[in-house]
Homo-oligomer: A and B are copies of this chain.
Amino acid sequence: MKVGILGATGAVGQKFIRLLRDHPWFEIDALGASERSAGKKYKDATNWIEDVNLPSSIAEMTVANCKPEEFGNVDFVFSGLDSSVAGEIEEAFAKAGIPVISNAKNFRMDNTVPLLVPEVNPDHIDLIKTQKFTADGSGWIVTNPNCVAVPLSLALKPFHDAFGIDTVILTTMQAISGAGYPGVASLDILGNVVPFISGEESKIKPETQKLLSELTDGKLSEPQINLSATATRVPAINGHMISATVKFKKTPSSIDEVKRAIQNWENPIADLDLSSSPKEVIKLHEDDRFPQPRLHADQEGGMQLHMGRLRESEVFDISFVAMAHNTIRGAAGGAILNAELLKVKGFLG
């Protein structure tokens, strides 16, 4: 399938290019960016910061404007657009009949737009049918969540299924790549911790609730979760760490029952054999020192969720840490996995 990338010169756009280099199903056919970049060769329009070589075929492509008429050949587009422009552009593509698989936040909380993590809520793709961008349903939007909501929902899903989630108190330790490029100034973060990330904390509860919702008759019924979050920035490159303490609706009999909830959890897309899907979706580390961003964020192509420190809490039921690669599982890789699911489910023609 031929794909386009909106916001191709930014950090998320570069990650899309990197991850799609050798993708078995998707081939990059068009790259869109701002007016400033349009018309230039991609290699001249971007400051490539990935640690693999920019593929030469991509390097020589001419950057287009983010307008549907310049993406005539593509089957769908990935959007790594900044939220300041994503709303308008993504809507234009959807209305033009070009499906948009977006990493931007603009449509995440729209009632008709799936906020999708394939292992968590694959059935939510049916929301697409309620969208009205085109009369024939050919244009639609699917989004992936914020880079904290992704690992959080993955970590909570087995517990939610087994015990119900009542309350979550969490602190994040987020890697610098989460702020894009140039992003965080080195003088702000080298040897330091910054106890605030603008706009981050307020996304976590609503996105997590939407992800854990049940879809019935085209309507989402959301669980009501009490959630209190503190988001901090630390000097790690990739991999957001979450330290969480959780109260369940139904108290487990023991910590072993909690572990079994993970072990017994069945990945609903396991049999689809999607290219970007990790073999082991949730890896539960028994070594107290693990997981660590530097050692584990890249495992299984950066798509694995790592949990550790799982233990009883004196206050609620359990405490644990969860960590995943923020720009792969938490952004571009998640969007690609969404596309893979949508393809096998027949939404991409």
Binding site for B on A (CB under 8 A): 49-53, 167-169, 171, 173, 176-177, 181-196, 198, 205, 226-228, 230, 232, 234-237, 239, 241, 243, 245, 288-296, 298-299, 308-309, 313-316, 319, 321
State the number of copies, please: 4
Q: Which 4 A-B pairs have the closest CB atoms?
A: A182-B185, A171-B171, A192-B294, A171-B243
Q: Is A227 in contact with B314, judged by CB distance below 8 angstroms?
A: yes
Chain B residues positioned under 8 Å from A308 (CB to CB): 195
Known: A51-B295, A51-B299, A187-B181. A234 touches B288 (CB 8 A): no
Q: A245 to B181, alpha carbons, bound, how many Å?
A: 32
Chain B residues positioned under 8 Å from A292 (CB to CB): 188, 192-195
Complex partner residue of A289 from B168, B195, B227, B321, CB under 8 angstroms: B195
Q: A171 to B226, alpha carbons, bound, how many Å?
A: 18
Q: Is A191 in contact with B189, judged by CB distance below 8 angstroms?
A: no
Q: A50 to B187, alpha carbons, bound, how many Å?
A: 10
Complex partner residue of A299 from B52, B294, B309, CB under 8 angstroms: B52
- Closest B residue to A185 by beta carbon equals B182
Q: How far is the CB of A254 from chain B (nearest CB, A)?
A: 17
Known: A182-B187, A190-B191. A49 touches B235 (CB 8 A): no
Chain B residues positioned under 8 Å from A198 (CB to CB): 288
- Closest B residue to A180 by beta carbon equals B187
Q: How far is the CB of A184 from chain B (nearest CB, A)?
A: 5
Q: How far is the CB of A316 from chain B (nearest CB, A)?
A: 7
Complex A-B: 25 CB contacts under 8 Å: A50-B295, A51-B296, A51-B299, A169-B169, A169-B316, A171-B171, A173-B193, A173-B234, A182-B188, A183-B187, A184-B187, A187-B237, A190-B191, A190-B235, A190-B294, A192-B292, A192-B295, A193-B292, A195-B291, A195-B292, A195-B309, A196-B309, A230-B245, A232-B243, A235-B235
Complex partner residue of A228 from B181, B193, B319, CB under 8 angstroms: B319
Chain B residues positioned under 8 Å from A177 (CB to CB): 187
Q: Which of A52, A196, A316 has its CB near the most chain B CB atoms (within 10 A)?
A: A196
Known: A182-B187, A295-B51, A309-B230. A194 touches B243 (CB 8 A): no
Q: How far is the CB of A242 from chain B (nearest CB, A)?
A: 9
Chain B residues positioned under 8 Å from A195 (CB to CB): 241, 243, 288-292, 308-309, 321
Q: Is B186 in contact with A188, judged by CB distance below 8 angstroms?
A: yes
Q: A292 to B227, alpha carbons, bound, how many Å?
A: 25
Q: How far is the CB of A189 from chain B (nearest CB, A)?
A: 5
Known: A186-B185, A237-B191, A292-B195. A316 touches B232 (CB 8 A): no
Q: A177 to B293, alpha carbons, bound, how many Å?
A: 17
Known: A226-B315, A243-B232. A186 touches B176 (CB 8 A): yes
Q: A51 to B238, alpha carbons, bound, how many Å?
A: 13
Q: Which of A190, A193, A245, A293 has its CB near the most chain B CB atoms (within 10 A)?
A: A193
Chain B residues positioned under 8 Å from A296 (CB to CB): 51
Q: How far is the CB of A54 from chain B (nearest CB, A)?
A: 11
Q: A176 to B187, alpha carbons, bound, how many Å?
A: 7
Chain B residues positioned under 8 Å from A294 (CB to CB): 51, 190-192, 237
